[in-house]
């Protein structure tokens, strides 16, 4: 039995607190808004983010960060990508010993183009950071909190730490695998949100399953192409944090990215969609980051570019679909064969 603190009292932080509590651990769930935490303390329910589940006694909701991390050496970081640096800066003031940081966020920081574990290593004082582990995979909070079968992957530069996290979380409904490819796991988790937004737009426009299958398949090719250039093992993209997470996010009504895309496809404006959602839609910021990554690494990412035009250049989704379909002819597998065989990627026409 361990004492573990979860930072971030949103959907995913709360669902993971439930998994840890089911495994017999004592969990502190920290949230930054006092009134939100007080309402959880009062009702034992996280009304805003996970209204159907009552929290058991071994989850303590806490609004004070120093209290939440006192005498703790394992922390789950479950806030949106854009809040990571701010939370880490606050956290360090209150740590008196090194901690294992388990991050579960799916994003890439625009401009710096850092992955989450890179942001953590940059922000944390070395003497306060034992290891960084990423836990990622096809896992909607709504289903995990109902104890429905779910599989995820634990990844770290230090495989002992990844295995420790596997042991903390694994149980009869939450199966945890390990994978040493941190870059692939983080890139797959972040970039699938872009494709989920595009799949939602396609559904919102009234296109059918053919279009969605095309987006998912060619989206994965795009993710594998940039991921491999960034140092990922291409095989990771055929696993849980690649195609697995792509499937669940592009096809589930639980996905905020798919739902946001769906509203955009039906003609709503980005700002009103994000306001309506009330929860994080990571794919929007990640599209900006991926657009910059494609330029930096000189990798063709046509779906990402098309989505960027819809989100940030006011292009109509139907027009970008037309442009995508009208591109020059190409060989389907050429890039992937090159990636698998470790050859240089052809950036010409094979898209």
Ligand X SMILES: O=C(CO)COP(=O)(O)O
The single residue among 4, 5, 6, 10 that binds ligand NDP, judged by CB under 6 A, is 10
From ligand NDP, ligand X, none, which one binds at residue 249 (CB under 5 to 8 Å depending on kind)? ligand X
Q: Cβ closer to ligand NDP: 139 or 350? A: 139
Q: Among residues 171, 192, 332, 325, which one has the least CA distance to residue 250?
A: 192
Is 136 annotated as ligand-binding? no
Interaction with ligand X in 282-321: which residues (CB under 6 A)?
282
The 3 state secondary structure assigned to the chain is: CCEEEEECCCHHHHHHHHHHHHCCCEEEEECCCHHHHHHHHHHCEECCCEEEEECCCCEEEECCHHHHHCCCCEEEECCCHHHHHHHHHHHHCCCCCCEEEEECCCCECCCCCCEHHHHHHHHCCHHHEEEEEEEECCCCHHHHCCCCCEEEEEEECCHHHHHHHHHHHCCCCEEEEECCCHHHHHHHHHHHHHHHHHHHHHHHHCCCHHHHHHHHHHHHHHHHHHHHHCCCCHHHHHCHHHHHHHHHHHHCCCCHHHHHHHHHHCCCCHHHHHHHHCCCCHHHHHHHHHHHHHHHHCCCCHHHHHHHHHHHCCCCHHHHHHHHHCCCCCCCCHHHHHHHCCCCCCCCCCC
Q: How far is the CB of 219 from ligand X (least distance, A)?
A: 14
Please confirm, yes or no, whether 192 is among the known catalytic residues.
yes
- List 49, 207, 258, 291, residue binding ligand NDP (CB under 6 A): 49
Stretch that binds ligand X, among 92-100, 171-179, 244-252, 318-326 (CB under 6 A): 244-252
Residue 257 binds which of ligand NDP, ligand X, none (CB < 5-8 A, kind-dependent): ligand X
Q: Which of ligand NDP, ligand X, none lies near 86, with the C-beta cut-off 5 to 8 A by kind?
A: ligand NDP
User: Quick one: which of 99, 165, 243, 248 contacts ligand X (CB under 6 A)?
Assistant: 248
Q: Which of ligand NDP, ligand X, none has residue 79 at its interface (CB below 5 to 8 Å by kind)? A: ligand NDP
Residue placing its CB nearer to ligand NDP in the complex, 149 or 206: 149
Q: Pick from 4, 5, 6, 12: which binds ligand NDP (CB under 6 A)?
A: 12
The answer to whether 134 and 116 are in contact (CB under 8 A) is yes
Lay out the site mask for ligand X across 159-198 (x = CB under 6 A, - = otherwise). ----------------------------------x--x--
Tell whether 306 is in a known binding site.
Answer: no
Residues belonging to the binding site for NADPH are 11-12, 32-33, 49, 106, 141, 256, 280, 282
- The residues that are catalytic are 192
Residues belonging to the binding site for sn-glycerol 3-phosphate are 106, 137, 139, 192, 245, 255-257
> Which residues bind to ligand NDP, rule: CB under 6 A?
8-13, 31-33, 36, 49, 78-81, 83, 86-87, 104-107, 139-141, 279-280, 282
């Amino acid at each position: 039995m361990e004492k573990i603190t979860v930072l971030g009292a949103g959907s995913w932080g709360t669902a993971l607190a439930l998994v840890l509590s089911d495994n017999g651990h004592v969990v502190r769930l920290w949230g930054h808004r006092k009134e939100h935490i007080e309402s959880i303390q009062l009702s034992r329910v996280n009304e805003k983010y996970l209204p159907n589940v009552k929290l058991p006694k071994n989850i303590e909701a806490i609004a004070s960060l120093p209290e939440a991390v006192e005498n703790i050496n394992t922390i789950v970081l479950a806030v949106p990508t854009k809040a990571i640096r701010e939370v880490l800066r606050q956290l360090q003031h209150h740590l008196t010993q090194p901690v294992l940081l388990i991050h579960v966020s799916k994003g890439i920081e625009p401009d710096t183009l850092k992955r989450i574990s890179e942001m953590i290593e940059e922000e944390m004082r070395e003497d306060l950071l034992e290891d960084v582990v990423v836990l990622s995979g096809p896992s909607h909070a709504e289903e995990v909190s109902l104890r429905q079968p779910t599989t995820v992957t634990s990844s770290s530069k230090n495989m002992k730490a990844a295995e420790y996290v596997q042991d903390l979380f694994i149980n009869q409904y939450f199966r945890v695998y390990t994978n040493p490819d941190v870059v692939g796991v983080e890139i797959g988790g972040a970039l699938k949100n872009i494709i989920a937004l595009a799949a939602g737009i396609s559904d919102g426009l009234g296109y059918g399953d053919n279009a969605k299958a095309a987006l998912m398949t060619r989206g994965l090719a795009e993710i594998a192409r940039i991921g491999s250039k960034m140092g990922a093992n291409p095989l990771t993209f055929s696993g849980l944090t690649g195609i697995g997470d792509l499937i669940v996010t592009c096809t589930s009504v639980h996905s905020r990215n798919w739902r946001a895309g769906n509203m955009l496809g039906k003609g709503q404006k980005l700002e009103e969609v994000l306001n309506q959602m009330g929860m994080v839609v990571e794919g929007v910021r990640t599209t900006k980051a991926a657009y910059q990554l494609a330029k930096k690494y000189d990798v063709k990412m046509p779906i990402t570019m098309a989505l960027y035009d819809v989100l940030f250049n006011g292009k109509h989704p139907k027009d970008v679909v037309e442009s995508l379909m009208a591109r020059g002819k190409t060989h389907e597998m050429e890039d992937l064969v090159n990636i698998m065989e470790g050859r240089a990627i052809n950036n010409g026409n094979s898209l």
